[in-house]
Amino acid sequence: MPSGNALYHSGAVVADQSAFETETGELVDLALQIFGEDGLLQVMVTMERTLIQK
């Protein structure tokens, strides 16, 4: 349960296979960073290329 002025939001990160592929077809990990209006990092999500099944 949030306390004080903390706000919590739920959400989802969705990426298809093409998001993990470079121009040469190599699979890479993805990183998503979300910053607040104050410039501070709010969330960092790393999605590993092993999530993709061939």
Residue 26 forms part of a structural domain: yes
Residues of the domain holding 24:
19-51
Q: Give the chain's domain count.
A: 1
Q: What residue type is assigned to position 54 of the chain?
A: K
Q: What pLDDT is stored for residue 54 in this prediction?
A: 58
Residue 7 forms part of a structural domain: no
Q: What pLDDT is stored for residue 29 in this prediction?
A: 94
Residue 14 forms part of a structural domain: no
CB-facing half-sphere around the CA of 49: CA atoms within 13 A = 10
Residue 33 forms part of a structural domain: yes
Residue 10 forms part of a structural domain: no
Read off the pTM.
0.58
What's the rounded Cα separation, in Å, for the pair 53 and 14? 15
Q: Which residue has the tokens 């999605």?
A: 47
DSSP-H helix ranges across the chain:
17-20
CB-facing half-sphere around the CA of 42: CA atoms within 13 A = 11
Condensed to tens digits (0 to 9), the pLDDT of residues 1-54 reads 455 566 666 777 788 889 999 999 999 999 999 898 999 998 898 999 988 865
Q: What pLDDT is stored for residue 7 in this prediction?
A: 67
